[in-house]
Amino acid sequence: MGNRILSVEKTTDNRFLNMYNLHYENRVGHKRLYHLASRGKDIKDLKLNTRKNTPDGVIIYSIYGEKHDHMVLVRQYRLAIDDYIYELPAGLVDAGETYAEAGTRELKEETGLDFEPLQVDEMYHKPFYTTIGMTDESCATVYGYATGTVSREGLEENEQLEVVLADRTEIRRILKEENVSMNCGYLMMHFLHHTEEDPFYFVRQK
């Protein structure tokens, strides 16, 4: 016998993120309480009910420069750690948007840069869960090339970030010395060590 959810209770009513109490019975029959954070606006929207992994957001892996030798990062202040952390540009998917449309919009808003998304096999866009131990949030990754000039004009008042166009020397320094989000860190390692002329060779293969 495995764990069994008995009931779900919504405990907050916020615009972007809510908390839920999951009352469940564990595999040995003891009743327990689990706290879940979710982008779902109501109980019916939780992925445990929809059984669909619909992405809440997109993460943007974008390359910059004529020689494709810079990666677009953001150094952003995050309240959870009261410090700055390096991340990939990212944001929520609006209703009716494709992953590519969401990525193009979010990159423009956060960095001022234009985005040319790649068309890749579905498995490379498949949404992955970000932190499944505490949330059902999932994000899809979009890939492409960024052009233009960095601008802060599209930032919201609560966003405190700087755009970093990092070459491999800077990426190596960041990995050694700075706070880095996990998805950003892994793709930085990939960019740092890939030996192919095309930085997106790995998503062009089926």
- Mean pLDDT score across all residues of the chain: 94
Report whether pLDDT(159) > 90.
no
For 186-197, what is each residue's pLDDT tens digit?
A: 999 999 988 777
Report whether pLDDT(1) > 80.
no
pTM for the full predicted model: 0.93
Burial class, 199, CB count within 10 angstroms (exposed 0-12 / middle 13-18 / buried 19+): middle
C-alpha angle 50/61/204, rounded to 5°? Answer: 90
Report whether pLDDT(205) > 70.
no
For 80-112, what is each residue's pLDDT tens digit?
A: 999 999 999 999 999 899 999 999 999 999 999
Report whether pLDDT(202) > 90.
no
Single-letter amino acid, residue 117: P
The CA-atom distances, in angstroms, between 157 and each of 93, 153, 160 are 20, 10, 8
**Average of per-residue pLDDT across 158-173:** 95
